[in-house]
Structures are given as structure tokens and as C-alpha cells.
Amino acid sequence: MTMTREDIARQREVALVDLVDRLLAGGVVIGGDITLSIADVDLVYVGLRALITSVATADELGLSLPAAGGAPFR
């Protein structure tokens, strides 16, 4: 399967969304010492949204990112 430039861009952005999902909502937690608040996590998604829009619009990528106010946690 040959990948188009769009495919590669999409995979890169999907990887970034997956990375955020895992690092900020998964993993082992040391009790009570997490420095990130949910507000911080939302900010990450806002930043991500801006980043992706700068590459191509989310629509073109077929990606639907969570709304800035949405809860990113599982």
C-alpha cells in the first residue's frame, strides 16, 4: 500500500492524539502527585487542535477532535 502525503499527515496527527490520550489519561499514577489538572489537559487538546488546523483542516483529515470543553478522559 502506498501512502499519500495526506495519509502520512493524518497518521502523524492521529499518533499525536493517541499519545495525549495515553500519557494524560493512562499510565501508573503516583497517588495525589499528578501536577496536571483537567483544565491543563483541555489546554493540550486546544493546542493540538490549533496544530492540526495548521497542517490541514480536521475535516480534510477526517478527524474529529474533542471540543475544547469536552472531557478528554475515558
20 is a contact residue toward other proteins (CB under 8 A): yes
51 is a contact residue toward other proteins (CB under 8 A): yes
Residue 42, all three cell numbers = 483541555
9 is a contact residue toward other proteins (CB under 8 A): no
CA proximity to 63, closest of 4, 5, 9, 27? 9
Dist CA 35 CA 49 (whole Å) = 22
Residues that bind other proteins (CB under 8 A): 1, 10-11, 14-16, 18-31, 33-36, 40-41, 43-44, 47-48, 51, 58-59, 62-66, 70, 74
